[in-house]
């Protein structure tokens, strides 16, 4: 029996509407990925040029440790100091593991290994684009990718074999998964957040707490919430995955050191260098860290033991004891750590220290100046759009994490990793809002809701 004509027409128009929406989505997405590919190619080209402008490889740097561990990973002396031949876990292992296949293929390469970090930096640019699209649509995504491609706070470390580019990529991936959770929290998404947090613990542990906060936010704000028991189960699963990622490294270290080493032995020298006479009373270094204090603490610890974990414990005790005995200076010291962190105090010294680590002076100056511009723009745009439907809690968590790390340890610019992700997304959203108002038109890359409206209007018109 043939359906009534009106029913058949309605069915046909519904199918046409769906087809139209699918076509519009494919057109918008293909345009987005074409432009994103161009941005990524430009980011790659600049970073490859920048690598060749970096200062020569130096032995007494963090980069030397990461490179040395990468080169030794497949040999009989894995994770042993290139200077003493003793076990080392001075930093987290993830960066060296990432670089190790290339180091194995090219055993005589040094500066050439920096190209691996170039690829990591470009991957972060792409992920910033995808994350921006999740925040506010495809135009926002392209603005975010473009900003990440040119923003010195991102690329200035992409030319060195260090942990910051890896951490930045993992943070951006975590933010992307968190934003996807707004569509619905699923077990794969929660477990992925746990996995990313575990990997961050093996790269830059001070960043990991904010990723656990994001996992808790995602669960708590889920539209599929059923009970607090289910929420706890999901969060426990995320913690479990993160623990599973770091346990092999921790167990491996149990047989190598006198003291337990969960992640690294870096905390000792960090605390000793940031809590001493120079950094509490010297006007030149108050709130920063002191090379003289590093050396003095290292010399004291070396006299106690040759074991790196014991040395770290000794230096940690030196730093914490000093802070305890001079607690009345802490409010001023913490304030100055934040001033250093924001580039408001002695940026020239930061530039000098950057050159010792391999960064050209002009690049570090560009990093400092551009941060002022981006941070001020983000602050103004965020305040102006404070009532907009932006993920304000996400931005606040990312920014506060960076401030807390700087206030707790030292005001290094490299602690801006989580803040930088938030600032770029805020500026991208603000630029999109401004360009839309200025043009007096809607976003040229419509959302799913807008596409549905176009399709529905087509049906109505028919």
Do 81 and 88 contact (CB within 8 A), yes or no? Answer: yes
pTM: 0.89
Compute how many other C-beta atoms are within 10 angstroms of the C-beta atom of residue 338.
Answer: 15
CA 233 distance to own-chain centroid: 27
Token pair in block for residue 381? 């745009």
- The pLDDT tens digits of the residues spanning 405-421 come to 999 999 999 999 999 99
- The pLDDT tens digits of the residues spanning 110-149 come to 888 999 999 999 999 999 999 999 999 999 999 999 999 9
Do 119 and 230 contact (CB within 8 A), yes or no? Answer: no
Taking the C-alpha atoms of residue 127 and residue 211, their distance in angstroms, rounded to an integer, is 16
Residue 63 to residues 57, 170, 311, 422, Cα–Cα distance (Å):
8, 19, 21, 27
Please check the confidence at residue 368 and state whether its pLDDT lies above 50: yes
pLDDT band of residue 448 (cuts 50, 70, 90) is very low
Compute how many other C-beta atoms are within 10 angstroms of the C-beta atom of residue 153.
Answer: 24
Element (H, E) at 324: helix 308-325
Token pair in block for residue 351? 């530039």
Lowest pLDDT segment from 72-76, 191-195, 328-332: 72-76
The stretch 214-238 carries a mean pLDDT of 89
Nearest alpha-carbon partner for 422 in 406, 438, 441, 401: 401
Which neighbouring-strand residues pair with 87? 80
Please check the confidence at residue 441 and state whether its pLDDT lies above 70: no
Residue 87 backbone dihedrals phi, psi, to 5 degrees: -55, 140
pLDDT score recorded for residue 28: 61
Taking the C-alpha atoms of residue 53 and residue 114, their distance in angstroms, rounded to an integer, is 12
Nearest alpha-carbon partner for 44 in 126, 162, 143: 126
Taking the C-alpha atoms of residue 340 and residue 336, their distance in angstroms, rounded to an integer, is 6
Helix axes 392-408, 417-439, angle to 10 degrees: 150
The stretch 384-402 carries a mean pLDDT of 95
What single-letter DSSP state applies at residue 87? B
Burial class (CB in 10 A: 0-12, 13-18, 19+), 408: middle
Taking the C-alpha atoms of residue 38 and residue 41, their distance in angstroms, rounded to an integer, is 5
Token pair 């020298």 is found at: 269
Give the three-state DSSP class for 221: coil
Q: Cβ neighbours of residue 443 under 8 Å, at least 6 residues apart?
A: 137, 138, 139, 432, 436, 450
Burial class (CB in 10 A: 0-12, 13-18, 19+), 168: buried
Helix axes 94-105, 164-180, angle to 10 degrees: 120
pLDDT score recorded for residue 456: 43
pLDDT band of residue 275 (cuts 50, 70, 90) is very high
Considering the chain, what is the average pLDDT of its residues? Answer: 90
pLDDT score recorded for residue 439: 72
Q: Cβ neighbours of residue 206 under 8 Å, at least 6 residues apart?
A: 405, 408, 409, 415
Residue 207 to residues 162, 171, 210, 432, Cα–Cα distance (Å):
15, 8, 6, 29
pLDDT score recorded for residue 233: 94
Do 360 and 56 contact (CB within 8 A), yes or no? Answer: no
- The pLDDT tens digits of the residues spanning 256-272 come to 999 999 999 999 999 99
Q: Cβ neighbours of residue 424 under 8 Å, at least 6 residues apart?
A: 128, 132, 144, 147, 148, 151, 374
Nearest alpha-carbon partner for 57 in 47, 72, 68, 70: 68
Element (H, E) at 218: helix 208-220
Give the three-state DSSP class for 80: strand
Nearest alpha-carbon partner for 72 in 85, 58, 59, 90: 85
Taking the C-alpha atoms of residue 389 and residue 137, their distance in angstroms, rounded to an integer, is 13
pLDDT band of residue 57 (cuts 50, 70, 90) is confident
pLDDT score recorded for residue 18: 56
């Amino acid at each position: 029996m043939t359906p009534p004509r009106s029913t058949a027409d309605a069915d046909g128009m519904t199918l046409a509407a769906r087809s139209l929406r699918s076509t519009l989505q494919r057109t918008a997405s293909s345009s987005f990925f074409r432009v994103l590919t161009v941005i990524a190619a430009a980011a790659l080209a600049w970073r490859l040029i920048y690598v060749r402008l970096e200062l020569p490889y130096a032995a007494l740097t963090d980069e030397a440790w990461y490179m040395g561990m990468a080169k030794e990973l497949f040999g009989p002396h894995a994770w042993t100091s290139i200077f003493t031949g003793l076990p080392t876990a001075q930093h987290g292992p993830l960066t060296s593991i990432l670089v190790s296949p290339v180091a194995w293929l090219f055993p005589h390469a040094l500066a050439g290994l920096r190209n691996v970090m170039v690829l990591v930096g470009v991957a972060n640019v792409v992920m910033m684009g995808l994350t921006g699209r999740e925040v506010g649509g495809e135009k926002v995504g392209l603005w975010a990718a473009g900003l990440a491609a040119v923003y010195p706070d991102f690329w200035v470390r992409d030319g060195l074999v260090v942990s910051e580019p890896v951490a930045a990529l993992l943070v951006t991936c975590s933010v992307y998964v968190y934003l996807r959770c707004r569509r619905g929290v699923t077990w794969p998404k929660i477990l992925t957040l746990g996995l990313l947090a575990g990997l961050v613990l093996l790269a830059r542990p001070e960043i990991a707490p904010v990723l656990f906060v994001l996992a808790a936010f995602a669960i708590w704000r889920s539209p599929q919430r059923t009970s607090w028991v289910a929420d706890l189960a999901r969060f426990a699963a995320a913690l479990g995955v993160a623990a599973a990622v770091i346990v092999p490294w921790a167990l491996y270290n149990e047989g190598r050191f006198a003291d337990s080493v969960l992640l690294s032995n870096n905390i000792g020298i960090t605390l000793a260098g940031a809590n001493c006479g120079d950094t509490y009373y010297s006007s030149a270094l108050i709130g920063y860290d002191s090379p003289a204090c590093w050396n003095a603490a290292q010399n004291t610890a070396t006299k106690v033991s040759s074991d790196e974990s014991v040395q770290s414990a000794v230096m940690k005790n030196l730093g914490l004891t000093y802070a305890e005995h001079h607690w009345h200076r802490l409010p001023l010291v913490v304030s100055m750590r934040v001033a250093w962190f924001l580039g408001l105090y002695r940026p020239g010294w930061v530039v000098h220290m950057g050159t010792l680590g391999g960064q050209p002076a002009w690049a570090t100056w560009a990093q400092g100046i551009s941060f002022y511009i981006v941070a001020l723009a983000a602050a103004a745009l965020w305040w102006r759009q404070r009532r907009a439907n932006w993920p304000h809690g996400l931005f606040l968590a990312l920014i506060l994490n960076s401030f807390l790390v700087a206030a707790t340890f030292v005001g290094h610019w490299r602690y801006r990793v989580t803040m930088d992700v938030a600032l770029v997304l805020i500026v991208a959203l603000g630029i999109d809002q401004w360009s839309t108002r200025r043009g007096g038109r809607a976003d040229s890359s419509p959302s799913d809701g807008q596409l549905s409206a176009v399709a529905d209007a087509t049906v109505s018109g028919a």
